[in-house]
């Protein structure tokens, strides 16, 4: 693997923008020439958003625009807006995504929010607003869940997040250390990051193909050292499931990588076949609230008990979003030796933290994780795929986690031992 070089900050930032555009969105390929690009960005990440716009034009985009987000505006609403007003949403914000997707364009989001933004807000207000947004956004979300467009998620430091990750230095120094961690995790600090990413994606493609060919009936997770107790969880897998990992293809043939960074391979659980108890190994930063010490028990695929050491009301509101949010929509395997795990950092950002540990997701499954699921909703449902307004990942893996694959004839094969792949 290419080693990090002594690049300047500006060069690494440009590398990062180029990765987001050329590896993340897949621009530069002949099938992507002339695409529109929408960048969603916090106002604090303006330099990165501008670099992405320039990189998009350099890669052949016909039009690139930015939709700005502002945490302080959101916080003001939940601090000051009247009770009962939280179902009102800015439809134009979702319409911007839908318009670009319907025009055959690409969407990239810089996901960065103060992890404690809504720590003092009423969980019912947050849930009301989240449900309203998710309901209106459902048609666009379905396009994402079926890979109808090339899309990508990245992040950028915020002073609030940086101060939590690096509490013993000044805010300015914390932000620069956060940047260094991002550049290292995304390989943007290497002289040829695009080539380094291609090697990494090839490894993920090999791993997902091996697991798809296995067609395990279920995965058994066992750990006796979880923060909230023991994990003993059997996740039944959807019939004819397909593992994802690395890059994906749109119907027009554009290869894109939805998450940068990505260290996971994942597939769809069967919504009715998860049994047992699971505890979180890292906190979940969700909707501006930190939820830690999650403990959930499943029977017949459905959540029947749920608790948390902090953020319990928000967790329960999430689970009660709809019927689908009482079931799983994703199970993902990540080696404990992943670069993000080795960094020893907790990022307060699921995009990064889910790539440090194996995880599961409450809510909707990706349709392409079930054979025939993209083409037919009836097939997706019949084979066990789950549908919901939400899809929220939380981390359950650690260096103590063992994972076995249970075959259809009842035999057991080791997949991971002590958090590392042995398959």
In our burial notation (b when 16+ CB lie closer than 10 A, e otherwise), range 41-70 reads: bbebbeebbebbbebbeebebeebebbebe
Of residues 138, 162, 161, 355, the one with CA closest to residue 262: 355
- Whether 103 and 235 map to the same domain: the answer is no
- pLDDT by residue (tens digit) across 193-206? 999 999 999 999 99
- Whether 224 and 329 map to the same domain: the answer is yes
Half-sphere exposure for 19 (CA within 13 Å, toward CB): 33
- Whether 290 and 141 map to the same domain: the answer is no
In a domain? residue 201: no
Instruction: Kindly state the tokens that stand for 344.
Output: 């020893």
Task: Please tell me the predicted confidence (pLDDT) of residue 4.
Answer: 56
Max CA separation in the chain (angstroms): 58
In a domain? residue 199: no
In a domain? residue 85: yes
- Low-confidence spans in the chain with pLDDT less than 70: 1-5, 225-229
- Whether 186 and 221 map to the same domain: the answer is no
- Whether 275 and 413 map to the same domain: the answer is yes
CA distance 127 to 104: 32
Asked if residue 97 lies in contact with residue 107, where contact means CB atoms within 8 angstroms, the answer is yes
CATH code, 70: 3.40.1830.10
- Whether 179 and 227 map to the same domain: the answer is no
In a domain? residue 248: no
Which residues have CB under 8 Å from 380's CB, separation 6+? 365, 367, 370, 372, 373, 374, 387
In a domain? residue 357: yes
Q: To 5 degrees, how large is the angle CA 406–CA 258–CA 330?
A: 30
Q: To 5 degrees, how large is the angle CA 123–CA 129–CA 133?
A: 140
Instruction: Find tokens 């807000």 and name the residue.
Output: 121
In a domain? residue 102: yes
What is the domain count for the chain? 2
The domain containing residue 336 runs over which residues?
215-242+263-421
- Whether 159 and 274 map to the same domain: the answer is no
- Whether 33 and 153 map to the same domain: the answer is yes
Asked if residue 16 lies in contact with residue 48, where contact means CB atoms within 8 angstroms, the answer is yes
- Whether 100 and 187 map to the same domain: the answer is yes
Considering 137, 159, 194, which residue would you say is the last residue of a domain?
A: 194
CA distance 118 to 121: 5
In our burial notation (b when 16+ CB lie closer than 10 A, e otherwise), range 180-196 reads: bbbbbbbbbbbeebeeb
In a domain? residue 126: yes
- pLDDT by residue (tens digit) across 365-387? 999 999 999 999 999 999 999 99
In three state form, how does the secondary structure of 284-352 look?
EEECCEEEECCEEEEECCEEEEEECCECHHHHHHHHCCCHHHHCEEEEEECCCCCHHHHCCCCCCCHHH
- Whether 309 and 273 map to the same domain: the answer is yes
Considering 135, 162, 194, which residue would you say is the last residue of a domain?
A: 194
- Whether 37 and 137 map to the same domain: the answer is yes
- Whether 43 and 138 map to the same domain: the answer is yes
CA distance 179 to 158: 10
Considering 160, 194, 228, which residue would you say is the last residue of a domain?
A: 194
CA distance 236 to 218: 4
| Pairing assessment for the beta strands 265-267 and 255-256 based on DSSP bridges | unpaired
In a domain? residue 254: no
């Amino acid at each position: 693997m290419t080693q990090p070089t002594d690049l300047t900050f500006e060069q690494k930032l440009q590398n990062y923008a180029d990765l987001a555009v050329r590896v993340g969105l897949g621009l530069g390929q002949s099938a992507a020439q002339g695409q529109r690009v929408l960048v969603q960005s916090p106002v604090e990440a303006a330099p990165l958003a501008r670099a992405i716009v320039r990189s998009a034009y350099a890669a052949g985009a016909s039009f690139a625009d930015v939709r700005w987000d502002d945490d302080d505006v959101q916080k003001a609403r939940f601090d000051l807006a009247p009770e009962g007003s939280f179902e009102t949403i800015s439809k134009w914000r979702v319409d911007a995504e839908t318009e670009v997707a319907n025009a055959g364009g690409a969407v990239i989001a810089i996901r960065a929010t103060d992890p404690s933004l809504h720590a003092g807000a009423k969980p019912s207000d947050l849930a009301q607003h989240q449900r309203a947004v998710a309901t209106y956004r459902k048609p666009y979300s379905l396009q994402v869940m079926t890979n109808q467009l090339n899309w990508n998620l990245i992040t950028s430091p915020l002073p609030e997040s940086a101060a939590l990750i690096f509490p013993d230095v000044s805010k300015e120094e914390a932000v620069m250390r956060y940047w260094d961690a991002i550049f290292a995790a995304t390989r943007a600090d290497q002289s040829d990051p695009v080539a380094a990413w291609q090697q990494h994606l090839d490894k993920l493609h090999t791993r997902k193909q091996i697991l798809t060919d296995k067609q395990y009936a279920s995965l058994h997770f066992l750990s006796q050292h979880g923060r909230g107790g023991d994990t003993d969880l059997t996740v039944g897998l959807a019939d004819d499931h397909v593992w994802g990992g690395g890059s994906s293809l749109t119907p027009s043939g554009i290869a894109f990588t939805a998450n940068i960074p990505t260290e996971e391979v994942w597939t769809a659980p069967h919504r009715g076949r998860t049994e047992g108890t699971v505890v979180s190994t890292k906190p979940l930063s969700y909707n501006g609230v930190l939820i830690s010490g999650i403990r959930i028990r499943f029977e017949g695929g459905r959540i029947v008990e749920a608790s948390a050491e902090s953020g319990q009301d928000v967790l329960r509101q999430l689970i009660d979003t709809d019927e689908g949010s009482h079931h799983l929509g994703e199970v993902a395997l990540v080696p404990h030796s992943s670069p993000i795990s080795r960094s020893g950092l907790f990022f307060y950002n699921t995009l990064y933290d889910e790539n440090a540990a194996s995880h599961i997701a409450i809510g909707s499954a990706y349709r392409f994780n079930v054979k025939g699921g993209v083409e037919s909703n009836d097939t997706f449902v019949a084979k066990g795929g789950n549908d919901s307004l939400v899809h929220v990942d939380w981390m359950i893996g650690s260096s103590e986690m063992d994972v076995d694959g249970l075959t259809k004839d009842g035999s057991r094969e080791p997949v991971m031992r002590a958090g590392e792949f042995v398959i």
